[in-house]
Amino acid sequence: MAKTAGRLKVRLYTSAHILDGYIRMLPEKRLLDILNGVLRGTLRTDEEFLQVSEAELCSSDGTKVTLQSAYISKANILFAREIEDGQTQGLGGEVRHKLYPFVSKSAAAVRLCMPLYTLTGQMHCAKGQRLSDVLNTGEKFLALTNVQIASSGGNSESVSFLAVNKEQIISLEEGR
């Protein structure tokens, strides 16, 4: 059976909005791959905008707008997460679990300060890597797991995974 593209429900956090909607996914790709422009192995795309369909934008004042399609600048995404927790939905509506190659990594507790948010969770380093090595890779987005998201407005939520835009990080503290 040929693998087909599907879609993934995501939540994107920007300094102006929180946006829920669907992005197109290639088989066996992760949200982190899409944000970093990884197509296959070292083959990359440098698309600067992410198309989101069935988008619901929620402003900081609580105003909600529904759009059939929106294009969001990847550079302005603070962080993003999957809403369907590790599953993709095929074009026919079937749910597929994603499989990824296992890479042994060690977790380090961190606290990230970002515009309007503080993230507390775990960054992961491959064997022989330090946190500074992860921060200085060519990837635009990095993985953070077991995350507590605290907004400057006092709201908080816990999520298992976030893709964090490195260019939006104001500071990082180890061992938090």
Tell me the mean pLDDT in the region 5-9.
Answer: 84
Cα separation, 136 vs 1, in Å, equals 40
One fold for both 6-97 and 105-174? yes
How is the chain split into domains, by residue range? 6-97, 105-174
Using the 8-state DSSP alphabet, how is residue 24 labeled? E
Quickly state the pLDDT bin for 41 (edges 50, 70, 90): low
Look at residue 43 and tell me whether its pLDDT is greater than 80.
no
pLDDT tens column, 114-160: 999 999 999 988 877 788 888 888 889 999 999 999 998 888 999 99
CATH node for 6-97:
2.30.30.100
Quickly state the pLDDT bin for 173 (edges 50, 70, 90): very high
Q: Which of 6-15, 20-29, 72-81 has the lowest mean pLDDT?
A: 20-29
Q: What is the pLDDT of residue 42?
A: 52
Q: What is the pLDDT of residue 134?
A: 82
DSSP letters, 129-170, are: --HHHHHTSS-SEEEEEEEEEEETTS-EEEEEEEEEEGGG--
Cα separation, 45 vs 142, in Å, equals 17
Quickly state the pLDDT bin for 164 (edges 50, 70, 90): very high
* CATH class of this structure's domain 105-174: mainly beta
Which residue would you say has higher pLDDT here, 58 or 128? 58
Using the 8-state DSSP alphabet, how is residue 74 labeled? G
pLDDT tens column, 62-110: 899 999 999 999 999 999 999 864 443 433 444 444 444 555 677 889 9
- Please tell me whether residue 31 adopts helix, strand or coil conformation: helix
Q: What is the pLDDT of residue 94?
A: 45
Q: What is the pLDDT of residue 147?
A: 95
Cα separation, 63 vs 80, in Å, equals 20
